[in-house]
A and B are shown apart, each in its own frame.
Chain A
Amino acid sequence: MPCFQLWRDRHAIHPHAGAGAGDGLPVRCWRRRWVGVLLSLGLLLGPGVLQAERETRLPIAITGMQSLPGPPEALREGRPPACRAWLPTLLPGQQQTACRPVPTSSLANTMAILLALIVLIMIVYGVRHVVFTLNRLLGRQHHPYLHVETARWPTVTVFIAAHNEELVVAGCIEALLDIDYPAECLKIIPVNDRSTDRTREIIDDYVERHPGRIQPFHRTSGKPGKAAALKDAMAHAVGDIVIIFDADYVPGRNLLKQLTAPFFDPEVGAVMGRVVPINAGANLLTRMLDLERSGGYQVDQQARMNLRLVPQYGGTVGGVRQSAIAAIGGWSDDMLAEDTDMTYRLLINGWKTVYSNRSECYEEVPQEWSVRIRQVKRWAKGHNQVLGRYWLQLLRSPFISPRERLDGALLLLVFIMPPILLAGWVLAVGLYYLDSEPALSTFIPAFALMAYSSLGNFAAFFEIVSAVLLDGSRRRLRLLPINLLCFFVSLFAISESVASVIMDRMFKRELVWDKTIRYRAPAK
């Protein structure tokens, strides 16, 4: 028997079939299928549409089902009402089940409830991203400190975090020597953290050529990692303001004043500038990361600044107030994401972090997938470390406004969303098989996939679109569909990282800091 006949027999020809069942489906039934397809888009649009779907489906079922064939009883067994809500039905029998009480399976029920919760969480993140995007496009932009161009500038110490940075450290020092800031108020400290290449030699060469302007800090032992190195170097800082650059960053002439200006506000504990990939055109990966960075800074961070939420300190192209750091207990050297740690400790203790979108600085992004995956895993581990340490304090802090608390919590949870998202997919697929849906319903999980990926917890695509348009660089936007690849890679990398953090916790393993590889040609 041809397979289409089997398929037809299973779904259309039925012991309880009414008139016309053996001749195929009635016209009204086709109409309902299209309605079902359209309604399944409800997964893209949220619970409001799903509710509308339920309301729409019921009258159709009541008016039309008497003459329609239903599925075999065996298929109806175990189909839970909750499950029905999430899987829009396309077959006549399924409309029938919408009106009839059926026995429920506790497993399917639980799965459906979990999936509903996950979808709800994703919708919350989706709404958050939509709000950010609309605010960035239509709202009032918040740059209160941008126009401070004349002032008695405070003494600032600039740290250049360098670990085996022979390729790039000279470029950063050169740029800082040329920066527009009173030389007598600026102290440059390259923090050479146990480098085994020519980093030390290059730094010492600059110290010799510019006496009094650069004070090197060569670290040959101690705890590994940027946070630990910076913590040790802090003892050499002068003044209350500390600005930190990674060695691969090339600050522009105005950058230091722009980053220092927010510290005239005594409530500001940290400032973050925008990083722009300098090797954007190297390959497909860097081009996609360039898009992601645009979305993350131009829209996400700036919208959080506009809405007085929680802009994130990024650990570089940014600065901190030493007295604030001291007030919150100093630098943590046991954190993989010292920047996130700093953001949350400042927030919990009533200090503000400011994002300055016009304070742009070039950085390198990974050019190889393996490097990118390691970077994402490190971010995820570090971020989740912060989640484990501060979530309770975040909820209890008396210094935080409700909107900051909500955004802070959503931001804090952002790196456990990928495994939750994966769990949602598994649940959706499981439910699908439990329901033995027809072939057409295969597209419903596909819609769900799209819903998750477009409304997902990071790199929301409409944010990227808005960011690229705001940057005035439109043609690179054509690559956006390929960015799905980046999304999936990050999804699995982060999920693996979350699992790894749990294992580290269980077996009390120490967290290891992975350095990101540099690609630039050595400075002459």
Chain B
Amino acid sequence: MSPPPDLIFALLFALTSLALLALPFVPAWREWRTPTDCDPLPIPRRDPDEASAFAALARQALATMPDSATFAPAPAVTALAAWAHAHRPLLAREPLRFEAAVHCGMPLFGSASIESTGAASFTAVYADESLRLGPGSEISHWAHAGKALHLGVASVALQSLSAGQCIALERECCFQHLRAPAIRFGEVPKRRLALRQVQPVEGELSSLPHAVRRTGTLYRIDGNCQLPAGHRFRGSLVVMGWLVVGENTTIDGDVKAHKGIVLRAGARVTGSLVCEHSIRLMDFAWAGGPVISEADVLLDACAIVGRPDAPTTVSAEHVVAETGARAHGTVWARQAGVVWTSEAFP
């Protein structure tokens, strides 16, 4: 007697199900019995993006260089083809000055200054002293100068730039990560006038509409907030909508607004500026602490972030700096940063 189709079906179904269920356990069993990937996840000791790490690497390379087979001596500045076809990182013991456009596909380490009057293109470049590149230059990875670093008009720095003293970017430069005690975005436009000095009037954050005290010095405001001009407020502020700080008004504390922050001309915030949307610092506005935006930071001419003795960070998806703006510390444009000018140019 042949078994009924129901039973055959049930058996087949059971066997197929068991086989399918057991299938993933085969590699699992193997991995358990013979581990091939069981080390703790590595935690990097340093952030690989950190500009100083590149500089340290470069210094180390320079220190060990003469006996190293890893590096090649830099060709003459006139042998442009040799630069373009370099196959190993290059080392220059003497100052370099390029009169024509130069392209170098390998990292260049210079123990003196490096300068180009025309467009220069480097993957990575380190200069123990100053580094000055002409208009239309491009740095695709990183650059560090022991003293000053200058990029000419319409240059592009795709990743990190750092300098021991100062970074200067001319108009139309694009950047991502800048780090130096002083960062200058172009020249101050001629149209700008000097800041009008006024004696501030003491104001109370508690007297602002909808202000609720959260801690001893922190106030929260539901909705938008416009601080009057020429006042001084002490304490930190969280605004659920827009915040506009009036001309020449100072806030001694940290500020956060959810929908946008505008510091009008001459306004000052001694602490941090944090916003989920855009932050704009108008002419002569100043932020003493980190400026953190999840969207854009717009720095108008003569806007300043940080101080030489108290450097800080600007961090945003996009940073748009008008010529004449300045920062001290770090400027991080996660997507892109650009220097623009409102003035016509030839």
Please list the residues of chain A having a beta carbon within 8 angstroms of any beta carbon in chain B: 4-5, 7-8, 11-12, 24-25, 30, 33, 37, 142, 144-145, 147-152, 252-254, 261, 264-267, 276-281, 284, 287, 290, 294, 323-324, 326-327, 350, 358, 360-362, 439-440, 443, 446, 471, 473-476, 478-482
User: Does A8 contact B13, Cβ atoms closer than 8 Å?
Assistant: no
Q: In whole angstroms, how far apart are the Cα atoms of A468 and B306 in the complex?
A: 40
Is B346 at the interface (CB under 8 A from chain A)?
no
User: Does A252 contact B31, Cβ atoms closer than 8 Å?
Assistant: no
**What is the count of residue pairs linking A and B with beta-carbon distances less than 8 angstroms?**
166
Q: In whole angstroms, how far apart are the Cα atoms of A446 and B329 in the complex?
A: 60
Since A265-B256, A266-B236, A287-B32 are in contact, a sample of 9 more A-B pairs with Cβ atoms closer than 8 Å, ordered by chain A residue number, is A25-B6, A144-B274, A149-B50, A149-B313, A252-B44, A287-B38, A350-B214, A350-B220, A439-B10
Choose among B288, B289, B292 the residue with the greatest number of A CB atoms under 10 Å from its CB. Answer: B292
- Selected A-B contacts with CB under 8 Å, 18 pairs: A142-B294, A145-B292, A149-B330, A150-B306, A151-B311, A254-B46, A264-B271, A264-B272, A266-B254, A266-B256, A276-B43, A280-B40, A287-B35, A287-B38, A362-B40, A439-B10, A471-B41, A478-B30
User: Does B43 contact A473, Cβ atoms closer than 8 Å?
Assistant: no
Interface residues contributed by chain B, number (CB under 8 Å): 62
Q: In whole angstroms, how far apart are the Cα atoms of A148 and B28 in the complex?
A: 42
User: Does B43 contact A360, Cβ atoms closer than 8 Å?
Assistant: yes
Within 8 A of A (CB), among B189-215: 214-215
Q: In whole angstroms, how far apart are the Cα atoms of A323 and B215 in the complex?
A: 6
Residues of chain A contacted by B289 (CB below 8 angstroms): 151-152, 264
Known contacts A147-B332, A264-B272: A4-B39 contact under CB 8 Å: no
Residues of chain B contacted by A280 (CB below 8 angstroms): 38-41
Q: Select one of A150, A326, A362 contacting B312, CB under 8 A.
A: A150
Q: In whole angstroms, how far apart are the Cα atoms of A148 and B292 in the complex?
A: 8
User: Does B315 contact A276, Cβ atoms closer than 8 Å?
Assistant: no
Is B69 at the interface (CB under 8 A from chain A)?
no
Q: Select one of A142, A151, A361 contacting B43, CB under 8 A.
A: A361
Q: In whole angstroms, how far apart are the Cα atoms of A253 and B43 in the complex?
A: 10
- The chain B residue with its CB closest to the CB of A439 is B10
Q: Select one of A151, A324, A360 contacting B329, CB under 8 A.
A: A151
Within 8 A of A (CB), among B214-239: 214-218, 220, 236-238
User: Does A326 contact B215, Cβ atoms closer than 8 Å?
Assistant: yes
Q: In whole angstroms, how far apart are the Cα atoms of A367 and B294 in the complex?
A: 41
Q: Select one of A142, A144, A440 contacting B13, CB under 8 A.
A: A440
Residues of chain B contacted by A152 (CB below 8 angstroms): 288-289, 310, 312
Residues of chain A contacted by B332 (CB below 8 angstroms): 147, 149
Q: In whole angstroms, how far apart are the Cα atoms of A521 and B47 in the complex?
A: 29
User: Does B313 contact A151, Cβ atoms closer than 8 Å?
Assistant: yes
- The chain A residue with its CB closest to the CB of B52 is A149
User: Does B28 contact A24, Cβ atoms closer than 8 Å?
Assistant: no
Q: Select one of B50, B274, B329 contacting A266, CB under 8 A.
A: B274
Q: In whole angstroms, how far apart are the Cα atoms of A480 and B31 in the complex?
A: 10
Residues of chain A contacted by B35 (CB below 8 angstroms): 281, 287
Q: In whole angstroms, how far apart are the Cα atoms of A68 and B183 in the complex?
A: 85
> In whole Å, how far is B27's beta carbon from the nearest beta carbon of chain A?
4
Residues of chain B contacted by A279 (CB below 8 angstroms): 40
Residues of chain B contacted by A480 (CB below 8 angstroms): 24, 28
Residues of chain A contacted by B6 (CB below 8 angstroms): 4, 7-8, 11-12, 24-25
> In whole Å, how far is A27's beta carbon from the nearest beta carbon of chain B?
10
User: Does A324 contact B38, Cβ atoms closer than 8 Å?
Assistant: no
Q: Select one of A24, A267, A479 contacting B238, CB under 8 A.
A: A267
Binary flags per residue of B49-77, CB closer than 8 Å to A gives 1, else 0: 01000000000000000000000000000
User: Does B215 contact A150, Cβ atoms closer than 8 Å?
Assistant: no
Q: In whole angstroms, how far apart are the Cα atoms of A101 and B202 in the complex?
A: 80
Residues of chain A contacted by B237 (CB below 8 angstroms): 266
Q: In whole angstroms, how far apart are the Cα atoms of A30 and B4 in the complex?
A: 13
Residues of chain B contacted by A439 (CB below 8 angstroms): 10
Residues of chain A contacted by B41 (CB below 8 angstroms): 276, 280, 290, 294, 360, 471, 473
Q: In whole angstroms, how far apart are the Cα atoms of A488 and B307 in the complex?
A: 57
User: Does B37 contact A475, Cβ atoms closer than 8 Å?
Assistant: yes
> In whole Å, how far is A288's beta carbon from the nearest beta carbon of chain B?
10
Residues of chain B contacted by A150 (CB below 8 angstroms): 179, 306, 311-313, 329-330
Residues of chain B contacted by A277 (CB below 8 angstroms): 40
> In whole Å, how far is B223's beta carbon from the nearest beta carbon of chain A?
14
User: Does A479 contact B31, Cβ atoms closer than 8 Å?
Assistant: yes
User: Does A440 contact B290, Cβ atoms closer than 8 Å?
Assistant: no
Residues of chain B contacted by A443 (CB below 8 angstroms): 13, 17
